[in-house]
């Protein structure tokens, strides 16, 4: 198979390698192909993506904020909060939170699980999945920023006392796991696995 060096661009004829071998560039010594590393990155991506998926229900359903307002105690999860926002008529805010804290992260996690582990789709469709994941990934830090904004608003209002519920830990872990998974993913693997 012909492969170009990702560092200097020199093209090499690379034979199929066994598990312990690796191919190096003859010009700049960069590693061009190493089956061991490829398998390892695939396994890491899958592990982190599955961990993110396992944490997701806890992040969405458990209470994330416990609010004390005028002696009134109130707990709310992300999903419950969105439903409440819809009920009170804040449709725009509810939709934004729904998209950034549930729909986009879930799509990203599902895409990673499919790419690294399930491999149900054809190669070409998996390339689309990869592009979709890249696009969604750009927005994935938004949820953390939204949370920060929410906290700031509550602090500014000053009349409510609040502390964070267990869902916050699950949420932060879930976002971190999906980020780690995306970093470990090697897109070449889409074309190299049969």
Using the rule CB under 5 A, is 151 a contact of Zn ion?
A: no
**Does residue 140 contact residue 108 with C-beta atoms inside 8 Å?**
yes
CB of 4 vs Zn ion, minimal distance in Å: 8
CB of 188 vs Zn ion, minimal distance in Å: 16
**Does residue 112 contact residue 182 with C-beta atoms inside 8 Å?**
yes
Which of helix, strand or coil describes residue 8? coil
Using the rule CB under 5 A, is 8 a contact of Zn ion?
A: yes
Which of helix, strand or coil describes residue 138? coil
**10 vs 110, beta carbon nearer Zn ion:** 10
Alpha-carbon dihedral 25, 26, 28, 30, rounded to 10 degrees: 20
**5 vs 97, beta carbon nearer Zn ion:** 5
**27 vs 131, beta carbon nearer Zn ion:** 27
Q: b/e string for 158-176 if b means 16 or more Cβ within 10 A?
A: eeeeeeebebbebbebbbe
CB of 38 vs Zn ion, minimal distance in Å: 18
CB of 29 vs Zn ion, minimal distance in Å: 7
Using the rule CB under 5 A, is 7 a contact of Zn ion?
A: yes
d(CA 193, CA 185): 13
The DSSP secondary-structure symbol of 141 reads T
CB of 107 vs Zn ion, minimal distance in Å: 36
Using the rule CB under 5 A, is 184 a contact of Zn ion?
A: no
**8 vs 183, beta carbon nearer Zn ion:** 8
Which of helix, strand or coil describes residue 54? helix
The residues in 19-48 that bind Zn ion, with binding defined as CB under 5 A, are 25, 27-28, 30
d(CA 20, CA 118): 25
The count of chain residues that interact with Zn ion, using the rule CB under 5 A, is 8
The footprint of Zn ion (CB under 5 A) covers 5, 7-8, 10, 25, 27-28, 30
């Amino acid at each position: 198979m012909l492969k170009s060096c990702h560092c200097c661009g020199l093209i090499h004829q690379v034979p199929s390698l066994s598990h312990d071998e690796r191919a190096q560039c003859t010009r700049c010594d960069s590693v061009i192909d190493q089956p061991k590393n490829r398998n390892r990155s695939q396994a890491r991506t899958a592990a982190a993506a599955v961990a993110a998926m396992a944490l997701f229900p806890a992040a969405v359903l458990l209470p994330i904020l416990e609010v004390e307002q005028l002696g009134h105690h109130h707990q709310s999860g992300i999903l419950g909060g969105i439903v409440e926002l819809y009920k009170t008529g804040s449709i725009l805010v509810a939709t934004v939170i729904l998209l950034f804290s549930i729909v986009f992260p879930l799509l990203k996690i599902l895409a990673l699980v499919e790419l690294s582990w399930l491999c149900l789709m054809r190669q070409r469709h998996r390339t689309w999945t990869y592009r979709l994941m890249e696009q969604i990934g750009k927005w994935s830090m938004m949820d953390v920023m939204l949370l920060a904004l929410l906290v700031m608003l509550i602090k500014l209002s000053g009349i409510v006392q609040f502390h964070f519920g267990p869902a916050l830990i699950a949420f932060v872990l879930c976002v971190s796991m999906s980020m780690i998974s995306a970093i470990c993913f090697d897109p070449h693997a889409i074309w190299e696995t049969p």
